[in-house]
Amino acid sequence: MRIAIAGKGGTGKTTISGTLARVLARRGRNVLAVDADTTPNLGVILGLSPEGTQATRDLPRNMMERQTQTDGSVKSVFTADSDAIIDDYATPGPDGVRLLVMGKVDHAGAGCLCGAHAAVRGLLGELVRKDDPDRDVIVDMEAGLEHLSRGTGRHLSRFVATIEPYYRSMEVARRVSNLASELGITDVLAVSNKVRDDGDRKAIADFCAAHGIRLVCEIPYDPSVVEAERAGQTPIDFAPDSPAVRAIGQLADTLVA
């Protein structure tokens, strides 16, 4: 299983990504979590200590090499060994989840992170080429749509769009679905998050139905998620039987099936 979690900022995609990775790992699955956000926070949701989060190593940007093809065109080619990259750069986390971090903005004026996006794209392509059925890859994408214009997740098999019950969030999910299709990824699912009542539920369901987006899971608004944040803990450690964590467990069932 190789999936990307995408959506508007603030829709809970990192919380869902990290909790989903932990749920799958607790079921005995081999999980690689990839933080493809330039403001990386996935390690926190996975349960790494502050020291562990600080110790994560950004993926090297020299894994891609521009090579001239036989027809004269120039193509960026992944030249590293993906297993070696994972062994060298992945940080072990709770329940056996391993975390790779794309890269982050270290200082102002440092330039764009085009090379970091290209490195993740190449690594994911190599993982897909190897087709290891025993490895689940969960990619927490950057908020918004830029990662789709860069094709960061083009080699993944499925996109999961996180939706909150308001228009701007739903509209970003629609754009995620359309742009993923342009990359050749037609398996796009939606997960509604922070649903409080039937009005929220109906708004999301109607929008998804109108735009042909398959809604597969509802995660209710859960105060324990906020309480876990205040306590500096992950939702799955703070309240493992909370409504939100149970719903993400149901999402795991759907994705695996």
Structure tokens at 203: 């708004």
Indicate the pTM of the whole model: 0.87
pLDDT band at 22 (very low <50, low <70, confident <90, very high): very high
pLDDT digits (tens, 9 = 90+) for 240-255: 999 999 999 999 999 9
**CA distance linking residue 219 with residue 163, whole number of Å:** 10
pLDDT digits (tens, 9 = 90+) for 224-244: 999 999 998 999 999 999 999
pLDDT digits (tens, 9 = 90+) for 76-117: 666 677 788 888 888 999 999 999 887 654 544 444 555 566
Q: Which pLDDT belongs to residue 107?
A: 42
Lowest mean pLDDT among 54-63, 67-76, 133-142, 167-176: 67-76
Which residues lie closer than 8 Å to 131 by C-beta, 6 or more apart?
Answer: none
> Architecture of 2-256 per CATH?
3-Layer(aba) Sandwich (3.40)
Read off the pLDDT of each residue in 193-208 and give the average, rounded to a whole number.
96
SS3 (DSSP) at 41: coil
Read off the pLDDT of each residue in 185-201 and give the average, rounded to a whole number.
93
pLDDT higher than 80, residue 163: yes
Q: How confident is the prediction for the chain on average, in pLDDT?
A: 84
Top-confidence residue, 40 or 168: 168
Question: Do the Cβ atoms of 64 and 118 come closer than 8 Å?
Answer: yes
What's the distance, Cα to Cα, between the start and end of the chain in Å?
10
Structural domain boundaries of the chain? 2-256
Read off the pLDDT of each residue in 33-42 and give the average, rounded to a whole number.
83
**CA distance linking residue 64 with residue 76, whole number of Å:** 6
Question: Do the Cβ atoms of 155 and 168 come closer than 8 Å?
Answer: no
